[in-house]
Amino acid sequence: MSRVRGLLFDLDGVLIDSLPSIAACMNHALERLGRASLATEMFRPLIGPPLEDSAMLLLGTSDPAQVAAFVAMYRERYAATCVAETLPAPGLREVLGELSQRWPLALATSKPEVFARQLLDGFAVGDYFMRGGIYGRSLALDSEDKAAVIARALVMLGGADGLVMIGDRKHDVIGAAAHGIPTIGVLHGMGAREELEEAGAKWICDDLWGLPTLLAEIDRGEADLA
């Protein structure tokens, strides 16, 4: 009996390597605001949470006007460069193609949905999400968390039963757990094994290539599904 009914994917760090793109855009915003730029690796921990949360950390203030200015400058550059400066995760098309033949795939990201669609289409994988849908934030600065994004996906997917989340940060694990969805944490993204395990990831996978085998085991009941 099949135990898995559908898959929810995070985007940044799971399906794409967005560190170079996001770092360049954050530095662009910092420089425009008269702040010093930072080394690319300094931005790694900021990939995953809502952008305005990262802006507050980088600016050292929660002043709405400054945060809004940072976000506007970031997005101006990101909209024009995100596809060119982002790399697909190894195995992206092959693995999604294989998994989509067996289960509906959905995307749940804290990135604005307009950018998520731009990236998926840019890497020619948007069609793999036709059955499950693509769900992201609006452009509003409301710090909407991952659980709220997932909640919208569940309306289309018909509830949480039988779903598995695939993410790379604690925000993915915690957001999915709010709906009773277990998570596979992948190690090729932005979060370390320790972060994922402490957040409660049920399984750990090295990269996208390992997902088909692991999910088949979960589906057969050989890897326990919560």
Same-domain status, 109 and 194: yes
Backbone angles phi, psi at 163, to 5 degrees: -95, 150
SS3 134: strand
Split into its structural domains, the chain has a count of 2
Same-domain status, 138 and 200: yes
Question: Which of 85, 112, 128 delimits the end of a domain?
Answer: 85
Question: 3-state SS of the chain: helix, strand, coil percent to 5?
Answer: 50, 15, 35
Same-domain status, 98 and 210: yes
Is residue 10 annotated as a catalytic residue, yes or no? yes
CATH number at residue 155: 3.40.50.1000
- Give the confidence band of 48 by pLDDT, cuts at 50, 70, 90: confident
Question: Which pLDDT score is estimated for 18?
Answer: 94
SS3 175: helix
Same-domain status, 36 and 98: no
CATH number at residue 59: 1.10.150.240
- Which residues, 6 or more positions from 122, have their beta carbon under 8 angstroms from its beta carbon? 82, 83, 86
The mean per-residue pLDDT over the stretch 43-70 comes to 94
Find where tokens 């006007």 sit: 65
- Give the confidence band of 2 by pLDDT, cuts at 50, 70, 90: confident
Domain assignment present for residue 171? The answer is yes
Same-domain status, 65 and 105: no
Same-domain status, 66 and 107: no
Backbone angles phi, psi at 183, to 5 degrees: -120, 140
Same-domain status, 179 and 120: yes
Same-domain status, 70 and 113: no
pTM for the predicted model, two decimal places: 0.93
State pLDDT tens for residues 206-221. Answer: 999 999 999 999 999 8
Q: Which domain holds residue 106?
A: 6-17+88-220
**At 219, which amino acid appears?**
D
Residue 107 CA, chain-centre distance (Å), reads 8
Cβ neighbours of 109 (radius 10 Å): 26
156 in the Ramachandran plot: left (φ > 0), alpha (ψ -120 to 50) or beta? alpha
- Give the confidence band of 225 by pLDDT, cuts at 50, 70, 90: low
State pLDDT tens for residues 112-138. Answer: 999 999 999 999 999 999 999 999 999
Same-domain status, 51 and 132: no
Question: Does residue 158 surpass a pLDDT of 70?
Answer: yes
Question: Which pLDDT score is estimated for 105?
Answer: 98
State pLDDT tens for residues 27-41. Answer: 999 999 999 999 999
| Active-site residue, from 10, 145, 168, 219 | 10
The mean per-residue pLDDT over the stretch 85-95 comes to 97
Same-domain status, 134 and 189: yes
Backbone angles phi, psi at 170, to 5 degrees: -60, -30
More confident residue, 122 or 224: 122
Same-domain status, 180 and 135: yes
